[in-house]
């Protein structure tokens, strides 16, 4: 499904007009700009995509009927309509091989320090304090809470992740002395240090995905049926409570 089709489905479920939601669905499908094939879904068609959408748009959006709709519900429906469920990072990692993602290159010493002490390295290069850079570093580290597999880094430590950081956090952070520091530059230094001296492209990330039927939507029918059952149960519980 395309963002427009997802948005029409959302309007049917939650009210309002498709234009109230299309920007949410476009964001989740934005990785397709870097890789046109199905593997692009690995980047944001997962629990990370839900978290990033909430970070970017907030917990709710208000549709044209004046109703607040949970952003997480909109994105989860998108994933169900594409793959049949909300994948975890591990669901994708089970079907990924290293390939070029573990390629090693020479790392300049100043950048290499970011691997072990990113906050200290930022302060040394650009000044400021830990508070200046914590949100940017936390953005790239957030996948650690979603998977114990060290390969969780792959999902944001790439060129797409760097642009997402800039899109969500803004173009720069500002030190107490008033110096503006590029979020993209911070991300590039961090990713290069942690990914063995290079910044993986979206294409390299997607090439690591070993395709399985569920990635093409083989589980969508069952996922939509389960969603209908859950919705019916919630509706019945609500009616019982009202009575």
Where are the domains positioned within the chain?
Answer: 3-88+210-234, 99-206
70: which strand partners?
A: 60
For each of the chain's 243 residues, which pLDDT tens digit applies? 999 999 999 999 999 999 999 999 999 999 999 999 999 999 999 999 999 999 999 999 999 999 999 999 999 999 999 999 999 999 999 999 987 788 888 898 889 999 999 999 999 999 999 999 999 999 999 999 999 999 999 999 999 999 999 999 999 999 999 999 999 999 999 999 999 999 999 999 999 999 999 999 999 999 999 888 877 766 666 666 666
Q: Side-chain half-sphere of 170: how many Cα atoms within 13 Å?
A: 7
Q: What is the pTM of this model?
A: 0.91
Distance CA 20, CA 225 (A): 25
């Amino acid at each position: 499904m395309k963002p427009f089709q997802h948005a029409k489905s959302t309007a049917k479920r939650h009210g309002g007009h498709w234009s109230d939601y299309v920007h949410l669905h476009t964001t989740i499908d934005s990785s397709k700009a870097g890789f046109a094939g199905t593997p692009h879904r690995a980047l944001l068609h997962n629990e990370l995509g839900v978290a990033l959408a909430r970070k970017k748009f907030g917990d709710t959006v208000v549709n044209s009927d004046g109703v607040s709709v949970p952003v997480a519900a909109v994105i989860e429906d998108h994933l169900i309509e594409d793959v049949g469920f909300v994948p975890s990072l591990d669901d994708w990692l089970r079907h990924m091989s290293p390939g070029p993602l573990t390629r090693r290159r020479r790392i300049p010493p100043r950048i290499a320090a970011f691997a072990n002490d990113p906050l200290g390295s930022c302060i040394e290069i650009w000044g400021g304090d830990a508070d200046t850079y914590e949100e940017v570093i936390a953005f790239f580290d957030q996948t650690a809470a979603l998977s114990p597999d060290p390969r969780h880094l792959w999902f944001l430590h790439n060129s797409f992740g760097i642009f997402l950081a800039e899109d969500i956090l803004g173009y720069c952070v500002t030190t107490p002395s008033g110096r503006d520091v590029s979020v993209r530059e911070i991300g590039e230094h961090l990713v290069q240090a942690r990914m063995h001296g290079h910044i993986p492209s979206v294409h390299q990330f997607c090439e690591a995905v070993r395709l399985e039927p569920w990635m093409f939507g083989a589980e969508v029918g069952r996922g939509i049926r389960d969603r209908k059952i859950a919705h019916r149960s919630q509706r019945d519980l609500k009616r019982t409570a009202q009575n």
